[in-house]
Amino acid sequence: MPPSVGDLVLRGAASIGVPVFLTGAFEDGLPLLWANEAFEKYADVRFSDLAGRRLSVLGDRLSDPEDAAKVSAHLAAGEEVQAMARSALRGGISGWVQVTLTPARAANHGRVTHWIGISVDVSEHMERQAAQLATLTVENRQREDSDLIAQTTELLADLEYPYVLRDIAELLGHVVKWAGFYVNDDGLKPAEGIDVANPPSGRGRRHARYVAGDDQPRGGPQRGIQDQLGDTTAAGGTTVAPGRLLEVVDSVQDLLDGKGDEPVTLHLDIPHAQYSASGWLQRELNRRLTDEMGGVPRSVVVHPVAGRKSTLGLLVVWLADAGADEVLFYEGTDESEEVRGVLEVVARRAGNAIDNARLYAREHRLAETLQRAMLPEQAEVPGLDVWTYYAPNAEHAQVGGDWYDILQISTEIVGLVIGDVVGHDVEAAATMGQLRSVVRSYAFELFTPGEVLEKVDQLVAGMGIPRSASMVYAALRKKGDEWQAIEYSRAGHLPPLLLRRGEVITLDQGGGALIGFGSRERTTGEHGLRPGDTLLFYTDGLIERRDRPLRLGLEALLDTAAAIQAKDAAGVGEELLARLADKPEDDVAIVVVRVPDPEGDRAQPTLSPRWRRWMLPSEPSSIGRARHAVLRTCQAWGIEESAQAELVVSELVANGVLHGWGHIALRLYDTGEGLRIEVEDSNPAPPVATDGHPNRLGGFGMQIVDRLAEWGWRPSGTGKLVWAKLRDQAK
């Protein structure tokens, strides 16, 4: 009798190389009823050892535990199902199988009585998939880390942004729970930005000793560390040996001293009493993290923020939540190593940015100091209204060759000098300084301008000064109470102008070659002066442009000067700047000297524009100069609140001198509704009024401003601009 189809199928299933098994009904727990030889070889077990075992344990071995409910639902409905499950393989190793369960129904009523299972080894496939997922995860993490570093680099590129370190710490919140920067300059201090306004010296010092539980620094010998700690234990019961504490304390100090470059762990739950930065940093972090995060970790990791030659600060990070017995070290998982790599890159780039900012600030301050040393403080000449202005070309690092000088030679003679050295570098500024000193010396010795320039020629030729220069030297002579005449000599410089009641007179006599090239006798020009006359001295930066000849620029100056209606020197200068120097391409130096006309000034109302501007050096003498300037302007405009304006200007300029750097721009505007005062400096940090704390230093000046005016501030192109609008004190 030939075998039945069922017998053939059973024989084939028994001999096939794929593991096949038969189970009972789902309601009975899928008991294992039969398995072929391939199943026994794959599982390395005899069927007799598994017979009757329920296959319901499959749910505990699925690749995704959430699939268990889906598999049970399909089985209960009598539907074919596939699932991935872990499986013990030959040799005790673990692998993955894909199990397919197909229902076998009874012929008479269609109920599922058995399940036919096929098990396929997919371990290699799952390993490849896991490797691909791991690679993708690593790539995604690396991409996120690269994006974070790129954003950090972009933030650090703006050296004038005051909150760059704060924003970088917030970015690091994607990889750590908390991060904060501390700069190291004469002691640690929290930092939100890179201070370029007052660049630190970079000299770190050790902090004073701290006694546990005492926030006040103390000097003198301290009791032993073992006596202070006793049997101190860290949270979780781990005993902390004194040697470990000393190691931690010294490690943080070593980072600041530049003796180490590896991150160290600082335990915040151990009392510190050592002569180092660790004690202060521990207390500061406990306070700061409590305020910002509502809790304090057992330990934080400290990275050095290194510059080129020294450690400039610390980057402190709270990696993650730690268990009671866990201390956060970097050793361990690959993820911690990746986080460490990101933090080290960020700390290194922050250190380079701080170093560059300080270098930039030092060079800029050096250039400013050099330039300021060459320009005089504006002299208050009795009987004359004098206004001066100097603006270097920003493209040339605030260093140029233009200069001016005002010399009170005697009660009857005032000397005026304006000059321009070729070039825009330190050598040009040095040449300018030499020439200025030479001219000053001869101006007090010789009283005729031509003779002064002849002596300057001789000395410059002997000194071998490499740069050529142009110059005008003029002497204003007084007889009695009236200014009688101006004598002048020019060395290759543009002629001064004399403005007299709408007429412009070009003082073009006394011409000659550039300084150092005078082979002929220098001549002296002369012109009489009257009350109300205004003298204008300037350098070519006021009128020279790339898109027009110098001749056309001089014609524009003459037309502008003829239309000026101002009655004070500052008004004349401001009109010139507003119309001619909106976009200067070179350094600009201007000196405006007006001979007062008491009768004419009282008889005619002012028609000058209702704004004024002064460029003041960042030095204490500028405060007094600003007060005088605002008083003169209020008198010219007929503003009664001159005393309030003087006080507000004094406080704002004082803030710029104390906390800013670079030139200070002072502007006054008559808005029709009150006087508006603007003071601009190169420090982007905003002004802060005192909060009333008895130990608070500074900020009281802004309280005075707040009583007298409405005020505010905004960022400017190079720093900040503080404005104030005077209140009507009668209200």
Q: Considering 91, 121, 151, which residue would you say is the last residue of a domain?
A: 121
Of 184, 185, 190, 181, the residue nearest 343 (C-alpha): 181
With respect to residue 558, please indicate whether it lies within any of the assigned structural domains: yes
Place of tokens 């900012």: 357
Cα–Cα distance, 429 to 423 (Å, whole number): 9
Place of tokens 């005032």: 414
Three-state SS at 701? helix
Element (H, E) at 120: strand 112-121
**What pLDDT is attached to residue 225?**
31
Cα–Cα distance, 57 to 73 (Å, whole number): 15
Beta-ladder partners of 456: none
Q: Do 414 and 449 share a domain, yes or no?
A: yes
Three-state SS at 20? strand
| Predicted confidence band of residue 537 (pLDDT cuts 50, 70, 90) | very high
Q: Output the average pLDDT for the chain.
A: 75
**What pLDDT is attached to residue 92?**
58
CB-based contact 679:722 (threshold 8 Å) = yes
Q: Do 353 and 490 share a domain, yes or no?
A: no
Give Cβ neighbours of residue 596 (< 8 Å, ≥ 6 apart): 383, 384, 385, 531, 532
Cα–Cα distance, 592 to 580 (Å, whole number): 15
The CATH number assigned to the domain holding 116 equals: 3.30.450.20
Of 575, 662, 680, 593, the residue nearest 404 (C-alpha): 593
Q: Do 530 and 566 share a domain, yes or no?
A: yes
Element (H, E) at 288: helix 277-293
User: What would the pLDDT profile of 24-53 be if each residue is shown by its tens digit?
Assistant: 888 888 888 888 877 777 766 677 777 777
Q: Is the pLDDT of residue 443 over 50?
A: yes
Of 259, 285, 263, the residue nearest 272 (C-alpha): 285
Beta-ladder partners of 681: 720
Q: Which two tokens stand for residue 468?
A: 């050529």
Quick one: how far is CA 458 from the chain centroid?
A: 50
DSSP string, 599-656: HHHHHS---S-SEEEEEE-SSTHHHHHHHHHHHHHHHHHT-STHHHHHHHHHHHHHHH
> Please, what sign has the CA dihedral across residues 621, 414, 434, 517?
positive
With respect to residue 368, please indicate whether it lies within any of the assigned structural domains: no
What strands, in cross-sheet order, belong to the sheet with 525-528?
402-408, 413-421, 469-479, 482-491, 525-528
**What pLDDT is attached to residue 364?**
65
Q: Do 12 and 75 share a domain, yes or no?
A: yes
Residue type (1 letter), 434: Q
CB-based contact 24:48 (threshold 8 Å) = no
pTM of this prediction?
A: 0.51
Between 528 and 480, the higher pLDDT residue:
528
Q: Do 425 and 560 share a domain, yes or no?
A: yes
Mean pLDDT for 322-338 is 44
Least confident of 8-12, 158-162, 471-475, 521-525: 8-12
Residue type (1 letter), 586: D
User: What would the pLDDT profile of 453-468 be if each residue is shown by its tens digit?
Assistant: 999 888 887 777 777 8
Q: How many CB atoms are located within 10 Å of the residue 189 CB?
A: 13
Q: Considering 566, 596, 626, which residue would you say is the last residue of a domain?
A: 596
The CATH number assigned to the domain holding 580 equals: 3.60.40.10
Q: Which two tokens stand for residue 93?
A: 């190793």
With respect to residue 602, please indicate whether it lies within any of the assigned structural domains: no
Residue type (1 letter), 96: W
Q: Do 227 and 313 share a domain, yes or no?
A: yes
Q: Considering 121, 141, 159, which residue would you say is the last residue of a domain?
A: 121
Cα–Cα distance, 539 to 427 (Å, whole number): 19
With respect to residue 127, please indicate whether it lies within any of the assigned structural domains: no
Please give the tally of structural domains in the chain.
4
Q: Is the pLDDT of residue 653 over 70?
A: yes
**What pLDDT is attached to residue 228?**
34
Of 100, 96, 91, the residue nearest 119 (C-alpha): 100
Q: Is the pLDDT of residue 339 over 70?
A: yes
Of 628, 634, 615, 635, the residue nearest 682 (C-alpha): 615
User: What would the pLDDT profile of 597-630 be if each residue is shown by its tens digit?
Assistant: 877 665 454 444 577 778 787 788 888 888 888 8
Quick one: how far is CA 94 from the chain centroid?
A: 55
The DSSP code for 686 is: P
CB-based contact 341:388 (threshold 8 Å) = no
With respect to residue 618, please indicate whether it lies within any of the assigned structural domains: yes
| Predicted confidence band of residue 3 (pLDDT cuts 50, 70, 90) | low
Q: Do 78 and 149 share a domain, yes or no?
A: no
Least confident of 54-63, 415-424, 587-596, 620-629: 54-63
What strands, in cross-sheet order, belong to the sheet with 588-594?
385-391, 588-594, 534-538, 497-500, 503-506
**What pLDDT is attached to residue 527?**
95
Cα–Cα distance, 285 to 265 (Å, whole number): 13
**What pLDDT is attached to residue 206?**
36
**pLDDT above 70 as % of the chain:** 72
**What pLDDT is attached to residue 325?**
35
Q: Which two tokens stand for residue 194?
A: 């890179």
Radius of gyration of the chain (CA): 42
Say if strands 588-594 and 534-538 run parallel, antiparallel, or are unpaired.
antiparallel
Q: Do 223 and 301 share a domain, yes or no?
A: yes
Of 204, 462, 450, the residue nearest 310 (C-alpha): 204
Cα–Cα distance, 51 to 402 (Å, whole number): 104
Q: Is the pLDDT of residue 358 over 60?
A: yes
| Predicted confidence band of residue 682 (pLDDT cuts 50, 70, 90) | confident
User: What would the pLDDT profile of 392-431 be if each residue is shown by its tens digit?
Assistant: 665 544 556 788 888 989 889 999 999 888 776 667 777 7
Say if strands 720-726 and 675-681 run parallel, antiparallel, or are unpaired.
antiparallel
**What pLDDT is attached to residue 209?**
32
SS3 content of the chain, % helix, strand, coil (to 5): 40, 25, 35
Give Cβ neighbours of residue 377 (< 8 Å, ≥ 6 apart): 617, 619, 621, 625
Of 411, 477, 483, 471, the residue nearest 440 (C-alpha): 471
**What pLDDT is attached to residue 331?**
35
Q: Do 554 and 625 share a domain, yes or no?
A: no
In order of 58, 77, 106, the CA distances from 29 in angstroms are 11, 14, 18
In order of 60, 64, 94, 434, 603, the CA distances from 86 in angstroms are 9, 10, 7, 88, 105
The DSSP code for 242 is: H
Q: For the chain, what's the residue count?
A: 731
**What pLDDT is attached to residue 602?**
56
The CATH number assigned to the domain holding 314 equals: 3.30.450.40
| Predicted confidence band of residue 435 (pLDDT cuts 50, 70, 90) | confident
Quick one: how far is CA 426 from the chain centroid?
A: 27
Three-state SS at 545? strand
With respect to residue 338, please indicate whether it lies within any of the assigned structural domains: yes
**What pLDDT is attached to residue 398?**
52
Range of the domain at 15: 5-121
Q: Is the pLDDT of residue 136 over 90?
A: no
With respect to residue 371, please indicate whether it lies within any of the assigned structural domains: no
What's the 3-state SS for 293-305? HCCCCCEEEEEEE
Q: Is 686 left (phi over 0), alpha (psi -120 to 50) or beta?
A: beta
User: What would the pLDDT profile of 89-123 be if each residue is shown by its tens digit?
Assistant: 555 567 788 888 888 887 777 788 888 888 888 87
User: What would the pLDDT profile of 178-206 be if each residue is shown by its tens digit?
Assistant: 898 888 776 677 877 776 555 444 443 33
Between 160 and 237, the higher pLDDT residue:
160
Say if strands 311-318 and 299-306 run parallel, antiparallel, or are unpaired.
antiparallel
Give Cβ neighbours of residue 300 (< 8 Å, ≥ 6 apart): 265, 266, 268, 285, 316, 317, 318, 319, 328
Three-state SS at 392? coil
With respect to residue 603, please indicate whether it lies within any of the assigned structural domains: no
Between 600 and 305, the higher pLDDT residue:
305
| Predicted confidence band of residue 6 (pLDDT cuts 50, 70, 90) | low
Question: CA torsion 552→554→556→560, rounded to 10°?
Answer: -170
Q: Do 249 and 111 share a domain, yes or no?
A: no
Q: Is the pLDDT of residue 573 over 80?
A: yes
Q: Do 356 and 380 share a domain, yes or no?
A: no
Quick one: how far is CA 581 from the chain centroid?
A: 30
Quick one: how far is CA 520 from the chain centroid?
A: 56
Q: Do 12 and 61 share a domain, yes or no?
A: yes
Mean pLDDT for 652-660 is 85
User: What would the pLDDT profile of 361-397 be if each residue is shown by its tens digit?
Assistant: 777 667 666 666 666 555 567 888 888 887 766 554 4
Least confident of 173-182, 330-339, 387-396: 330-339
The CATH number assigned to the domain holding 694 equals: 3.30.565.10
User: What would the pLDDT profile of 690-728 be if each residue is shown by its tens digit?
Assistant: 544 444 444 567 788 888 888 888 877 667 889 998 876
